Amino acid sequence: MGESKASTMRQENGMDGYEKIDQYNPHTVARIAEKFHLILNDLGLDPGREGLAKTPERVAKALQFLTHGYSLDPAEILRSAMFKEDYRQMVIVKDIEIYSLCEHHLLPFFGKAHVAYIPDGYIVGLSKLPRVVDAYARRLQVQERLTVEIRDCIEATLKPIGVAVVIEAQHLCMVMRGIQKQHSVATTSAFTGEFQQERTRAEFIRLVSTRP
């Protein structure tokens, strides 16, 4: 029944390119929702009132979506689109949107990632770099580890001449709680190989800083 409903929707939408289908294990959703029901209670709220009735289930699904990166294999994403190519110049994909959850407060941090590498025999389909960023961002993270994980995955998989990753992000746990420095942005960076050289790194920074 679920499947026939999905295929009807597909026809109605007339989608033949991209489509997003969210699938959740109903048992996992129920288990997580049960606990959020108790949490709402403990917060002094009435989980039975109309607006909150479905909240535990929604939160359960949202959390599963926001952590679905654990079920993805970022190295495999890269390997699925690696091509032999003699290009040995810097390849940059900048302004990749990131949305992640800080593992200390389960509050979002979000911003932009800039990723570059210098190929050594292999290039990768450009769309795969944002997908690798996403696969690590959709986990419970700290910005520093997210930065290094993206770098290390590209380094280990493509074995390029160098990798550079810069992430600029705002953390709601910082903005909404206590300190309230609403416009502060945290910047992290991680480099390998050729990007350890001052000149190469400076070129990368210059290229990702220029705004169109």
Q: Which residues are catalytic?
A: 102-105, 143, 171, 173
Nearest residue (CB) to Zn ion, 102 versus 208? 102
- Interface characters, 39-78, with Zn ion (x: CB under 5 A): ----------------------------------------
- Interface characters, 120-159, with Zn ion (x: CB under 5 A): ----------------------------------------
CA angle 28, 29, 30 (to 5 degrees): 90
- Mention every residue, 6+ apart, whose C-beta is less than 8 A from residue 84: 121, 122
Rounded least distance, CB 46 to Zn ion, Å = 29
- Interface characters, 83-102, with Zn ion (x: CB under 5 A): -------------------x
- Mention every residue, 6+ apart, whose C-beta is less than 8 A from residue 210: none
Candidates 43-51, 74-82, 166-174, 191-199; binding stretch for Zn ion (CB under 5 A): 166-174
Candidates 103-111, 136-144, 146-154, 157-165; binding stretch for Zn ion (CB under 5 A): 103-111
By the rule CB under 5 A, 173 interacts with Zn ion: yes
How many residues touch Zn ion under the rule CB under 5 A: the total is 4
Among 10, 49, 58, 104, binds Zn ion (CB under 5 A): 104
By the rule CB under 5 A, 177 interacts with Zn ion: no
DSSP assignments along the chain, one per residue: -HHHHHHHHHHHHT--S--------HHHHHHHHHHHHHHHHHTT--TTSGGGTTHHHHHHHHHHHHTGGGG--HHHHHHTTEEE----S-EEEEEEEEEEEETTT--EEEEEEEEEEE-SSEEE-TTHHHHHHHHHHSSEE-HHHHHHHHHHHHHHHH--SEEEEEEEEEEHHHHTSTT--TT--EEEEEE-GGGGSHHHHHHHHHHHH---
Among 61, 94, 105, 145, binds Zn ion (CB under 5 A): 105
Residue number of the CB closest to Zn ion reads 173
Alpha-carbon gap, residue 76 to 112, rounded angstroms: 23
Candidates 105-113, 117-125, 183-191, 195-203; binding stretch for Zn ion (CB under 5 A): 105-113
Nearest residue (CB) to Zn ion, 117 versus 136? 136
Give residues in contact with Zn ion (CB under 5 A): 102, 104-105, 173
